[in-house]
Chain A
Amino acid sequence: MGNEVMSVLKKDYIYNLMLKGKRADGRAFDEIRDIDLRTNVIDKAEGSAWIKLGGTELLVGIKLQVGSPFPDSEGEGVIITSMELNPIASPDFEAGPPKEDAIEMARVTDRGIRESGAIDLSKLCITEGEEVWIVFIDIHVLNNEGNIQDAASLAAIAALMTTTIPGEREGRGEDMPMPIRDMPVSVSLVDIGGEVMVDPDLDEEAVCDSRLTIVSNQDGSISGMQKSGDGALNDEKLLKAVSLACKKASELRETHLLNI
């Protein structure tokens, strides 16, 4: 009950700000919070990245194992993405197996990487039909101040770009870098009573009608999309969001990924 009253008040406040073209933290509608991204932060992992997006903080670790391929793609490596919303990150998170939010965000991250063809999976095949590399992307959320999704996607591709495949350790030939072909970047927007804004913080996430995540690639094509939240979108708003997201994604790629 208490939370509901709070969120009604908060929504009013954020909505009224929006009408004046403002956001609670003073950002423009198309402005992403400051990003601090560092790679190779965990020595034990084959690749890793730490990201701070505004106040949201998380770690992505990449581990590789030798395993068997899926029967329908015997010549390709396997990607497995999981996300843990650890109770350390928010009073609202509980310990235990991932719930629908964590599953959804992990799967959207996974689809962005998979469908963009960012990893050349055929190069992860060791012996066709028998042995392939399995890439585990584990997202460990440390502090939630909103928009875990974009932080996770950006850190995941950054971590993958710094990953070395441990051929020698596993007795499968030489070490080699992860075969990366593209850099998918996710940008999320929320719709608050009519205007879309990028990179929602915690409050904006709590009061938004719906939320849209768009994953786009270097050539400007879209490789993943997900609407979530209880609202509906009209196509005008949707198309505006898509073009804004693609533009923002290319800025993020420019500043944070191309120098890795």
Chain B
Amino acid sequence: MSDKPEKFIDENGLRLDGRRIDEIRPMKMEIGVLSRADGSCYLEWGKNKVLAAVYGPRELHPRRLQKADSVLIRYRYNMAAFSVEDRIRPGPSRRSTEISKVSREAFEPVVLTHLYPGAVIDVFAEVLQADAGTRTAAINAASVALADAGIPMKGLISACAVGKVDGQLVLDLNKPEDNYGDADIPMALTSDGEITLLQMDGDVTQEEFKKAIEMCKEGCRQILEIQKETLKNKFTKLDEVDISDEDEDVDISTIVESTLEPSEDEETEDQDEGSDEYQDDGSAEEDENEDDSVSEDEEEDNEDDLIEDSEESIKRIDEDDPDDEEDDA
């Protein structure tokens, strides 16, 4: 039976879960959580728990599916049977098939697909616990997992929904708002604010829709920050050594630049690593971020270098830091 709340927004302008109308639920991300996948990300967003993994680029079989001029992206959105109140039958449903399709299309505009003709990039998004907004949660996690896998992209994708309850637009619907609200508009945006996924059901006027886009942009901007932060954390963090001890704001570019002053040894090493396809995929997801003058693959390579002879590198970072910052400025 219906347990529809009488009011979604109280007299103080707060929603059932205490959020303001333009506030997203708390989001937590962890990167590189699966050892077999080329990239992975675990995301908690409100009560949603989503795990995304990326395999590839890898060879595509059967061959007839191969695309001669670009990589094929496959996206599988899947809900665990126990992820919702009433058990759902495992395997693809009409709903999940549609979500998989539009989510894949949300990534097509940013992935540099022409770099791997004939290959496939598989993105798997598993919803382990569902609580409204799972498709957008899955996209946010998948976006970071793609970056983690070193897939070259023009930028990250961030996704969020806007809905309507009590005649008012609200950002990032919670479960009751999703179930009993008047509209649900999930969107995915590039970091430049281009819309790559848009769905809507419910009832809104053209004016409201216009406002919804604005709200969604703001939500996605916040999510993008969390995604970037997650990536930076992984690629600046070193095993055993905490480089941020002295300077909290060590920025990736300083580390990368200072450690890759090419000594001859390192150069040869780099070339060897170049044979490893995945490491060499110049990934550009942070390109538009001015601070990060260096792309992901180098960061990854660097990470390895750093771990190998961390002590020396750290020293060099410390020494080079002020200079580099000046350069950046």
- Listed in ascending order, the chain A residues whose CB lies under 8 Å from chain B are 1, 4, 72-74, 98, 100-101, 103-104, 106-107, 111, 114-117, 210, 212, 217, 220-235, 238-239, 242-243, 246
Contacts and interface: CB of A to CB of B under 8 A. Distances in A.
What DSSP secondary structure best describes chain B's contact surface? mixed
B209 A227 contact: no
B207 to A, nearest CB: 10
Contacts of B195: 227, 232-235, 238
Interface in B99-153: 100-102, 105, 108-109
Interface string B86-97: 000000001101
Contacts of B69: 4
B256 interface: no
Contact of B185 (A104, A116, A225, A233): A225
Interface in B189-207: 190, 193-206
Given A103-B98, A232-B109, A239-B210, A226 B203 contact: no
Contacts of B206: 220, 222, 239, 242-243, 246
11 contacts: A73-B2, A104-B101, A212-B198, A222-B206, A223-B201, A225-B185, A225-B200, A231-B196, A232-B194, A238-B213, A246-B206
A100 B98 contact: yes
Interface string B55-94: 0000000000001110000000000000000000000001
Nearest to B102: A228
Q: Nearest 7 pairs between A and B by C-beta?
A: A225-B200, A230-B108, A232-B194, A227-B198, A232-B109, A100-B101, A115-B201
B165 to A, nearest CB: 15
A243 B210 CA distance: 11
A54 B202 CA distance: 30
Give the size range of B's interface with the partner: 20 to 34
B329 interface: no
A224 B102 contact: no
Contacts of B194: 232-234
Q: Which of B108, B199, B205, B210 has the most CB of A within 10 A?
A: B199
A102 to B, nearest CB: 10
B213 A229 contact: no
B100 A225 contact: no
A222 B196 contact: no
A104 B108 CA distance: 18
Interface string B164-205: 000000000000000000000100001001111111111111
B217 to A, nearest CB: 8
A94 B212 CA distance: 39
A226 B102 contact: yes
Given A4-B68, A227-B197, A238-B198, 4 more contacts: A72-B1, A227-B199, A232-B194, A234-B195
A23 B197 CA distance: 26
A223 B203 contact: yes
Contacts of B202: 115, 223
A4 B117 CA distance: 13
A222 B197 CA distance: 17
Nearest to B95: A107
Nearest to B217: A235
Contacts of B197: 227
Contacts of B203: 115-117, 217, 221-223
B97 A232 contact: no
B198 A226 contact: yes
